[in-house]
């Protein structure tokens, strides 16, 4: 089995963090170290974690946001393999064991993740994230299948433009792959979809694999950053634009990537328009230089009229 470090970042989650930490500590494959970075919490996070001080490393920092606090936790880890968990999610007891099996099935993989379900007052009953992929998506992205384990194709980056099966609480990667991909970018720390930037870059830098087993439970509640659909679309477009600007997207991926950027902007514009946010829809269309269809141009004209 694989020796894992675990990186957890937290901000004002005293009501959830203990359950998260206990789920990490109670794995069938025990983690070798557990790092909890407290992102300047003003609640009782430190106090509720005190009973675990002999089993975790607790580090409190000034508030820097979700992405950067995750970065601090990851870069504090010492083992070759690093698994992440958010402060409100729960690992099932076999999570690390399942990831170990995936790594052993595909030894060249340096970025792995599992499937997940949901729980909480806003959860979808019996949710299976992998099952929400578009028709034919898994057939396209799968290079090899070994029981529940899937080796991703070399061109997985392209498939992830249309669907992202990987969430931070289900990630694990080697430290070498993390730095090869450029690590977590502070620029997106407080932005919706901030984690997708790292996902896309590590797919360009390392071999990916996953397990279809649902080993993580994502808590769905009113404070989830990922719940803002329009903000996620805007974030996706911005992140892809930045990756293209950095010159790390291979030429053979550029046309699909640019098309996805424009489609994400159009979807954001349309949802703002349909929500009645006419001033914001016009502003976003102007600042993001969207290529609009005839129907969208008519929407733009109507939005301009409505906002005056």
Which pLDDT tens digit goes with each residue over 134-170? 999 999 999 999 999 999 999 999 999 999 999 999 9
Residue found by looking up tokens 């805007």 in the block: 234
**Confidence at 296, pLDDT banded by 50, 70, 90:** confident
pTM of the model as a whole: 0.92
The boundaries of every CATH 3.90.550.10 domain in the chain are 4-224
Region 9-26: mean pLDDT is 98
Close Cβ partners of 105 (under 8 Å, ≥ 6 residues apart): 146, 147, 149, 151, 209
Tell me, what's the pLDDT at 307? 59
CA atoms within 13 A on the CB side of 116: 21
What is the C-alpha to C-alpha distance for residues 220 and 237, in angstroms, rounded to an integer? 24
Which pLDDT tens digit goes with each residue over 58-107? 999 999 999 999 999 999 999 999 999 999 999 999 999 999 999 999 99
Does the domain formed by 4-224 have CATH 3.90.550.10? Answer: yes
Tell me, what's the pLDDT at 223? 59
Question: Any idea of the CA torsion for 75, 56, 1, 76, to the nearest 10 degrees?
Answer: 10
């Amino acid at each position: 089995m694989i020796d894992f470090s675990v990186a957890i970042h937290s901000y004002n989650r005293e009501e959830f963090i203990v359950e998260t930490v206990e789920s990490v500590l109670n794995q069938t494959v025990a983690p070798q170290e557990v790092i909890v970075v407290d992102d300047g919490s003003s609640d009782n996070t430190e106090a509720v974690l005190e009973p675990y001080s002999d089993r975790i490393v607790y580090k409190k920092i000034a508030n820097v946001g979700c992405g950067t606090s995750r970065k601090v936790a990851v870069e504090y880890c010492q083992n070759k393999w690093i698994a992440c968990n958010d402060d409100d999610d729960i690992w099932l007891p076999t999570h690390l064991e399942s990831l170990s099996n995936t790594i052993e099935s595909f030894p060249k993989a340096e970025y792995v993740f599992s499937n997940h379900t949901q729980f909480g007052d806003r959860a979808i009953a019996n949710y299976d994230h992998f099952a929400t992929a578009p028709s034919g998506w898994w057939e396209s992205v799968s290079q090899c299948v070994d029981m529940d384990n899937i080796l991703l194709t070399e061109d997985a980056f392209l498939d992830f433009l249309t669907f992202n099966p990987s969430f931070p609480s289900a990630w694990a990667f080697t430290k070498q792959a993390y730095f090869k991909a450029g690590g977590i970018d502070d620029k997106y720390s407080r932005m919706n979809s901030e984690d997708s930037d790292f996902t896309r870059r590590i797919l360009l830098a390392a071999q990916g694999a996953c397990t279809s087993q649902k080993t993580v439970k994502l808590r769905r509640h009113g404070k989830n950053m990922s719940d803002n659909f329009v903000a996620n679309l805007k974030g996706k477009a911005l992140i892809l634009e930045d990756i293209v600007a950095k010159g790390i997207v291979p030429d053979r991926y550029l046309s699909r990537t640019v098309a996805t950027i424009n489609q994400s902007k159009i979807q954001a514009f349309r949802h703002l328009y349909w929500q009645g946010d006419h001033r914001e829809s016009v502003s976003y269309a102007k600042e993001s230089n969207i290529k609009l269809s005839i129907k969208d141009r008519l929407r733009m004209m109507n939005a301009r009229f409505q906002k005056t």
